[in-house]
Amino acid sequence: MKQVDLYDIIISPSITEKSTESSEFNKVVFNVAKKATKPQIKEAVERLFDVKVKAVNTLNRKGKVKRFRGRIGQQSDVKKAVVTLMEGEAIDVTTGL
């Protein structure tokens, strides 16, 4: 895969309280493309961050219906990947790529 394709798969890191707590267990959470597969996500993370990946788990979060100033809106659907790294590996998601 080309470098541009890797950035199309990994959209952004997911910085939440739950994902920060999972970093203690060598896990990193990313927002990924909706059509990305587990092998594609694994290859993209390994090549972009130069780490070894142990496992990839994915989940699809459906967009919630929210109200804003009395109007009803729909949040976007999001696909997330929980990437478990090999022992001794680490990714600092607070720095830019």
Domains parsed from the chain with CATH numbers: 3-85 (3.30.70.330)
The confidence band for 97, taking pLDDT boundaries of 50, 70 and 90, is low
80: pLDDT strictly greater than 80: yes
The 10s digit of each residue's pLDDT in 33-65 is 999 999 999 999 999 999 999 999 999 999 999
76: pLDDT strictly greater than 90: yes
4: pLDDT strictly greater than 90: no
Most confident of 6-10, 30-34, 88-92: 30-34
Give mean pLDDT, residues 14-20. Answer: 91
Give the pTM. 0.86
1: pLDDT strictly greater than 80: no
Give the separation between CA 6 and CA 43, rounded to whole angstroms. Answer: 8
Q: What residue type is assigned to position 52 of the chain? A: K
Give the count of beta carbons closer than 10 Å to the beta carbon of residue 54. 14
